[in-house]
Amino acid sequence: MSAALAFLARVRAVAAKEILQLRRDRLTGGMIVGIPLIQILIFGYGINFDVRHIRAAVADDANTSVSRALVSQLQASQVVDFVERAPDVVALRRMLVAGDISAGLYIPKDFERRLIARDRPLAQLLIDGSEPGLEGALKALASMPVRVRAGDASQPPRPIEVLAEYNPERRTAVQIVPALIGVILSMTMVIFTAIALVRERERGNLELLITTPVKSVELMIGKLAPYVVVGLIQTTIIILTGVLLFDVPINGPVWQLYAGAGLFIAATLAMGLVISTVAQTQFQAMQLGFFTLLPSILLSGFMFPFEGMPRLCRWIAQVLPLTHFNSIVRGVVLRGADLTDLTPAVLKLTAFLVVAVTIAALRFHKRLG
């Protein structure tokens, strides 16, 4: 009996010590409450399979009151928002390649003849097949009965022909594997650099760096450079695996894919450096790293339709590097886009990199003081 009491006393003493450490560790204590609360709020509102307000454009070669009525009826469904008008179908496809829209409606010149004859589809709906989750909603829209004239009977079940661009076989691997480059790099790069400065501090190497003439920005860039090479090696492994095992096509210039990947790797590493200036221990650094990882996966359009998210979640997604890299990698690999076509995503990644490196350098300098 005395041995059991002694055992319980020792366990109680160790547990009391752990509780005391948690009380002193304010960052970890805050994350115990903050992580589940913030994550459930973000994902409860953000994850939505009921896709609405998909960015679309229309090329109306008929340009009649009846064709405009068709566009108005599709717009009224709230599944698509026609934000642009293209002069022809070539311009419509160019907008799809650049990622400016996710769907394009082409109405041919003989639209009214088709409406009367009912022997061919009234129009074509071009879908960006590189994005997951959109095809189901747009197919349902295309199969909706169309009434464009007062008194007309509804048209046949599929008056609009649906064409899935860039993924005609509708293979999930084609959509997911390219975006996995960003997800896997986020999982590794953030953790690598999140513990970088913390490890230096715990090992006592930080004091040696303080005594050298190395400036804060130089230290930050020096910390990033080796991991950029590591990230590019991982990128090569993922690309080769995707091509050889999953038959993922690479339709754009490979060197531009690597240029975009290098920019994303640097931006992700910079985010890890910011985390390393906040965390006091390697455990805290890993906690914060994983805290940023889940929103990156779920809000970046990797798994769930970006168009289905509420506006607040889209704003949050805009500060995540993975959101913009998904646009780049899917654009180059699947749509055959050029980086000049993807300028907005490239500029946003560059801005994130500059801001993150600046914040990390300033915070590190402040600690030296």
Same domain, 141 and 208: no
Q: What is the pLDDT of residues 95-138, one digit of tens each?
A: 998 888 989 999 999 888 888 777 788 888 998 888 877 877 78
Distances (CA, A) of 250 to 51, 76, 111, 183, 307: 28, 37, 36, 18, 25
Same domain, 347 and 331: yes
Same domain, 195 and 223: yes
Cα-to-chain-centroid distance, residue 325: 7
Q: Which domain holds residue 86?
A: 54-165
Within-domain flag for 10 = no
Partners of 105 in beta bridges? 58, 125
Same domain, 152 and 272: no
Within-domain flag for 68 = yes
Residue 132 to residue 111: CA distance in whole angstroms: 30
Last residue of a domain, one of 119, 137, 165: 165
Q: Is the pLDDT of residue 150 over 60?
A: no
Within-domain flag for 335 = yes
Last residue of a domain, one of 140, 165, 190: 165
Same domain, 159 and 196: no
Quickly state the pLDDT bin for 12 (edges 50, 70, 90).
confident
Last residue of a domain, one of 165, 184, 216: 165
Summary count for the chain: helices (H), strands (E): 15, 5
Same domain, 161 and 212: no
Same domain, 341 and 205: yes
Same domain, 241 and 353: yes
Res 157: pLDDT = 43
Q: What is the pLDDT of residues 20-38, one digit of tens each?
A: 766 666 666 666 666 666 6
Same domain, 204 and 275: yes
Same domain, 104 and 192: no
Domains held by the chain: number:
2
